[in-house]
Chains A and B, each alone.
Chain A
Amino acid sequence: MNLLVVGLNHKSAPVEIREKLAFNKSSVPIALSQFSRRFPSAEVVILSTCNRVEIYVAEPENCVIDEDVYDFLAVFHGLEKSSFVDYWYYYSGGDAVNHLFQVTSSLDSMVLGESQIISQVKEAYTTAKEEECTDKVLNQLFQQSLAVAKSIHTNSTICQGKVSVSSVAVEFAKRIFQEFSDKVVFIIGAGEMCELVVKSLCAEGINAVMVTNRSYENAEALASEYGGKAIKYDLLNEYLPKADIVISSTSAPHFVISPENIVDGIKARRGNPMFLIDIAVPRDIDPAVGKMSNVYLYNIDDLNSVVSKNVGERENEIEECKVLIENEVNRFISWLEEIKIAPVVAQLRRHFHCIGEEELLRLKPKLTNIDPKDWDQVVYAMERTINKILHQPAKVGKQEAKNGSGHKYIEVIRKLFGIKGVEV
């Protein structure tokens, strides 16, 4: 049994290469059926995301190698093999299993611990299964990989703690506010980062967005995107007290919000908390504002420090997750060895039963006066004897397979009993 993975990801290949070799949703089934036609005995799954393209192959006759997969990809995408072959990685056997488990558990993702990859792996597997491109081995492999990923995400903190500035900002907002539907967000400066934070906040249920910018047109454009209201830059101080969340990212060289122009607004809020995010460099909001009562101010460094801490915490979990994955890989390999042993044991049984039947055929003409009931007893005794003899070899075979030395067992069986045609 040959199990291999050929692939490229964000670490091994630049986006220019990845985009040429990526499969879209509609091309995956076509690629799967073409691959199956070319290698009928192979099981195949294609995993194609924005960060990786991987082809998992399980094949019992050892006739598919990595070069075959490269050739297939070159033909399918109409590319020169030499243009991409340097960017690919190749794993086989236990390494391939380990790689898939790491990918599904998002240990190999660009953002460590992200959960989207689980659904992407699940989708890739489901597509291959629907196209009847998977069988016993890849079914077991992918089902186990999804179970491992689920277990890691549940039992470790690898996916806890936000690791992007916008999600950390939302996390802070959640520590201050319970309900977002009645909150007002005020965006000062229509920058890209502001937009990311607003997008995340809107996903939490914020309805009211106010946008101000030196260029009123840009403010209007961003406001219309989120169904908000554009405010003229001169009216900033007037609208400020109405906001519960303020996100500032202007390119102004001086403070845009200082304690003097917010103090009345804060008083008017009667102790209702106000959350300010200053993602501008140089800063837009005077740090003294953050010292005011019921005002919570965070700048880009504050948000980045949380991101770094969360990334560090996730990285600390990697080793623990790798140990868990290693155990699961061993479990899968044992299972794989067991299913390799099964045909050998079956062949051994057939071999012994053939010998038994031959002996019975030789014996029967000599016992012409034997009662049919007695003859049945003789046949039964022969079968019992063979089964008893084979019980221990079958048990040992399974045990050897679990220990990873199934191939030696097969070799011994072949030599001892002269069985031909058994794969080693």
Chain B
Amino acid sequence: MSIAHYCIFITTIVFYFLSSVWSVGALIKPKRFGLLATNRFMFTGFIIHTFYLIFFCIKDKGLPVTNIFESVIFLIWCIILIFVVVDFLYKLKAVLAFLMPFVTIFSICSILFIGNDLALSGDLQKFWLVAHIIPTFLGYASFGIAFIASIMYITVQRQLRTNFTGTLLTRLPSLEGLDSLIWRTLTFGFPLITLGLVLGFVWIRFSNILGSNWLLDHKVMLGIAAWLVYAALLHLRMIASFHGTKIAVLTIVGFCLILFTFIGTFFFGATHGFRDKASNGQMEEVIILNEEIN
């Protein structure tokens, strides 16, 4: 990765960081930190981020998920995209104060993956990749917003119980508003992630990308576990009509599981379609050899 690439991504992070500072500042000292500046920083970062991803799309001739770094920054982009939609619909600017620090830290952490050798196997078919990745990532991003809203819910709840004279309380959305945001993002994300999983299973059945023991793939197992957590959560809300703290806590647990499924599994040896660049090279050679024999 060239220095220019680094600089572009660092610029994005700088804008996300400025947006974090301003959004948190707007909660604590609204006279000094304006929400307008927060928005401008966020959008500037988001636009640079978008162009950066477009560059990768052109380079990869497809989705920017050919290595772990690209996947992570694509997920961050999806999270901000979902927030922009949520903010447009429900006008919840205070979410930025919790979302942007998370996005900034996540973006900084993504730099760790720049030198990662794992890259997407060359034999992945583009249609199935797009069909699996897009709903899954948008689902993850929705759960990300639900996670942020849940953290806000717990914060507001704690403030209401222990520090109700604090000025911060007056600048955060109501518990009911946050509960409703959690619910809306969960119900948006769940069908998407279900679709992503189903298409992933169909893809596995058609191809042999995860080998014969695909069910033992860490990411597949944890993906199913996360799906079950969210299914239980929606069940609690829809059938048992649960609201409030329990839903918020479960949403946080669910998203931690999602994050672990998304990144953590790679640290435990799972590859989930990604291989070392070296073995990718060998694979391509085998493919070329097979074609020559045929």
Contact = CB atoms under 8 A, between A and B. Distances in A.
Interface of A: 155, 157, 161, 171-172, 174-179, 270-273, 290, 293-294, 296, 298, 302, 305-306, 309, 313
A177 B246 CA distance: 17
A270 B170 contact: no
A272 B164 CA distance: 20
B245 interface: yes
Contacts of A157: 31
Contacts of A272: 243-244
Contacts of A174: 174
Given A296-B160, A298-B164, A179 B176 contact: yes
Contacts, number: 60
Given A178-B174, A271-B245, A293-B245, A172 B164 contact: yes
B169 interface: yes
Given A171-B170, A296-B161, A306-B165, A176 B176 contact: yes
24 contacts: A161-B167, A171-B170, A172-B160, A174-B174, A175-B156, A175-B169, A175-B172, A175-B174, A175-B175, A176-B160, A176-B175, A177-B175, A178-B180, A271-B242, A271-B245, A271-B246, A273-B243, A273-B244, A290-B161, A293-B244, A293-B245, A294-B244, A296-B160, A302-B164
Contacts of A298: 164
A157 B29 CA distance: 11
A293 B31 CA distance: 35
Contacts of B245: 271, 293-294
B173 interface: yes
B253 to A, nearest CB: 16
A305 B165 contact: yes
A256 to B, nearest CB: 22
B246 A273 contact: no
A423 B94 CA distance: 60
Contacts of A172: 160, 164
B31 A176 contact: no
A271 B249 CA distance: 13
Contact of A270 (B160, B164, B243): B243
Range, interface on chain B: 20 to 34
B174 A270 contact: no
A178 B160 contact: no
B42 interface: no
Contacts of A155: 31
Contacts of B176: 176-179, 273
B85 interface: no
Contacts of B172: 175
Interface string B221-264: 00000000000000000001111111100000000000000000
Interface in B171-203: 172-177, 180
A177 B243 CA distance: 13
Nearest to B173: A178
A176 B244 CA distance: 11
Interface in B152-168: 156, 160-161, 164-165, 167
A252 B171 CA distance: 37
B235 to A, nearest CB: 13
A176 B175 CA distance: 5
B107 to A, nearest CB: 31
Give the most central of A175, A176, A302: most B CB within 10 Å.
A175
A336 B244 CA distance: 62
A294 B154 CA distance: 11
Contacts of B160: 172, 175-176, 296
Contacts of A294: 243-245
